[in-house]
Structure 1
Amino acid sequence: MLDDLDRRLLRLLQEEPARPVPELAQAAGLTPGRAARRLDRLRETGVLKGQETVIDWRRLGYTVHVSLRVTLDKGAPRAFEDFLAAAREVPEVVEIQTFLGQVDVRLSLIARDLAHYRAIYRDRILTLPRISDIEALMTLSVVHDNQALPL
């Protein structure tokens, strides 16, 4: 589906997503019109889903990052639906993932400090419905964080 030029454009976009099309075209060895048409095709086929802004929450004072592994009471009707709907309402929850296996849901949340985290955990997380078990993993450091694809 992708040829070498498409992969080159995608690699360049991964390196610098805000690069203007004329600069992107020059770096890829294409004319701006040809690069724009290829980018349009990549968007139309769903390969490119758009651009996003990534905010460094640490610079905004959120120094604590915790991953919560949650097992739900699956015997309760609508356990997943009730839990997920309530978890979406916690502003500090920045990611929710569901799994097959012993752990049903992972919540990723941020807090300003440990006191703020304790308050979120006590007042918001522990009141979420249908929790059977919960395990907290606090991030000490991020060793590798690369979302670029090997194109």
Structure 2
Amino acid sequence: MSQQHAAGAPPQRSGGARRHRPSRAGDERGSASLELVVVVPAAVLVIALVTAGWRLWSVRSQVREAAAAGARAASLARSAAEAELSAAAVVDSDLATMRSICTSPVVHVDASAFSAPTGDGDVTVDVSCQVPFTDLLVPMPGALTVEGRAGSRLDSYRGRQP
């Protein structure tokens, strides 16, 4: 055993092949650009998904509120035809007031309770519409359908016609 090896120095490899050890400054060369290429698109995608989720939740709440307002208006009508007209007008007005992104709203009113005896029955209003995602910061294809349903008891003290 040689003196160098015994003193704690690493043994020399035979064959003349030496290992190249990069300096500390060179260890992270290129890592910033790699992080930029990987992290930024991932962060943008997460922000886009959060924005789309918020839009979907917001429009779903608006549609439910509009359906409830339409059901209240329909329950105060005197006839089934008047109930359908007033519910549709209130739903459209409510969505416009909230500046909803809801496109192509469809309103269906179940006014069959107007033919029931006084004091019995509910009027239900179903609202559905499309929520587009093509106009977001990161456009996503397509649209989702959201629906809202609400009911209201007919006013038993109001005169009505079937």
| TM-score band, normalised by shorter chain | under 0.3
More helix by share: 2
Determine which structure has more spread, i.e. the larger CA radius of gyration.
2
TM-score computed with the length of structure 1 as normaliser: 0.25
TM-score computed with the length of structure 2 as normaliser: 0.24
